[in-house]
Amino acid sequence: MAAPPLTIRNLARTPLELKKIERYEALHTHGGGIANVTNITKGFQTLLSNQSQPTGAQIAENAQSFSDESVSILTEPFRSSKTDLKGIERPSEILRLTFETDGERYRLDVPSTGNRSTTLVPLTPNPRHAYSAVFLPQKSHLTIFSFANLSSWMQELKDDTPLSALSIPGTHNSPTCHRALPSVRCQVASIRDQLENGVRFFDIRVQPESPDDLSKDGLILVHGVFPISLSGNKYLRDVVNEVFAFLDAHPSETLIMSLKREGPGTHTDAQLSRILRDHYAGDVNHWYTAPRIPTLGEARHKIVLIRRFSLEEGLKNEWDGAGWCIDAESWAYNTPNDLCHSGDICVQDFCEVLETENIDKKIEYSTQHLERAGAIKVFLKEEGGVQTEGDQPPPKQPFYLNFLSASNFWKVGCWPEKIAEKLNPAIVDFLCCKHSELEGIEGQSVGDGGTGIVVCDWVGRDGDWDLIRAIVGMNSKLWLKEHHH
């Protein structure tokens, strides 16, 4: 079946004009196959890296069906262009696309030899812009993002931005990258690798090691009733030290940490809250523990604590009697959409995927929550006060917390790894093709196109960070709003 005509979606900060489209045969490999192979398991293809760009001479040698067409197709930021240009017509075909913006040209070849999003190749010395892109060959759909340095992507956003306005990648059971039971392990990348590749929300479950002796700070990392490693206990202290080392090297960044008490034995939320306050989060220079959502400026170089536990009585008097930490205590279990009593967290955490068929339901709930987040319009501060609509003060904007994770202990096909294999590519596809493109669900109008906090399993597997890059890329509309406000 012939591929549909090419669609270009521009999620970058600048207009992009397609100036030229070339077609040629892919370079043959030594095994007699072709260089570009569609990655069926991942469900999508991304772009050829700079290092693997064929030279003009190489193209000429393989240019049996070479064609070259000059075009002029302008796509404004956050718009799509449905062209009449043919997509990939044969498995061996490569499209070379040349774009122009601000007098500079950038080039890419699709589809690629791998399954990664990569930067477009600048054809101008000292380019002012950088772009990355994802190509979905079955749909002939190309999405272009402004390229972000994932280790310090928050530095481009302004201090007075509400933290809940950002599109933030997160991980579920973040430290579970160790050798463990398959139903327990949710991650493949280490804490530091996650941070360096843009993750800014950690979901962590702990068990007090000595609950009856609050002078001891041991908090064992767990997932449900199980330890996260078969080789011995792992501790929150080591995670915190890793995070602070990263934040010291990248002071523009922040990390949101959600903590919950799990694990076997007799221990209480009150004990956990006191251990955290006395041994970890008492230092306001390194932890943000006010019971409200901060601005990015307030949160930089700190861990922002979200509590999924109740407080010891004395801690309810913190912050002039307002309590301690952002409150997610009333989190509903297995919910497709729930607003916590505090009003600070709106969560999708449908987690009981009992059969593989239910994964489609999980995808539906996840994309609906993305659209809820995308419908929000951010209120930015101006000189002389806070921007409002009419005479109304800006509404409270919660964190839209969207868990892509789910599992069923008793079914191999529903363990975290297997669900992520289906869910992660589906969410990349949705973000690239549909997110904030329509009027949204429930009659909501399109807002700033953010994603909220998207909490993932098994990101970074085989070096594939495309889901994280797509989430971070959704901050471009917010950036443009801030810098042209």
Does residue 172 have an active-site annotation? yes
Angle between helices 359-374 and 416-433 (to 10 degrees): 40
Dig out the tokens for 265 from the structure.
């034995």
SS3 category, 471: helix
Between CA 88 and CA 238 the distance in angstroms is 49
Cα(329)–Cα(342) distance, integer angstroms: 9
| Token reading at 203 | 């979901």
Q: Are strands 7-11 and 141-146 parallel, antiparallel or unpaired?
A: parallel
Per-residue b/e over 317-340, b at no fewer than 16 CB within 10 Å?
Answer: ebeeeebbbbbbbebeeebbbbeb
Query: Vertex 420, ends 230 and 377: CA angle to 5°?
Result: 120
CA distance 329 to 340: 7
| Exposed / middle / buried, residue 152 (Cβ in 10 Å: 0-12, 13-18, 19+) | middle
Cβ-Cβ contacts under 8 Å for 14 (sequence gap 6 or more) = 77, 101, 102, 129, 146
* Nearest-angstrom CA–CA distance, 9 and 76: 9
Residue of 172, 250, 267, 435 marked active site: 172
Catalytic residue among 223, 267, 369, 435: 223
C-alpha closest to that of 116 among 469, 466, 468: 466
Question: What whole-number distance in Å separates Cα of residue 186 and Cα of residue 423?
Answer: 13
The Cα–Cα gap between 303 and 290 comes to 12
Active site residue 28: no
Those residues with Cβ within 8 angstroms of residue 388's Cβ, 6 or more apart along the chain or in another chain = 379, 394
DSSP 321: H
Q: What share of the chain is helix, strand, coil (3-state, %, to 5)?
A: 25, 25, 50
Whole-angstrom distance, CA of residue 67 vs CA of residue 22:
5
Structure-token pair, residue 396: 């409270």
Q: List residues with catalytic annotation.
A: 172, 223
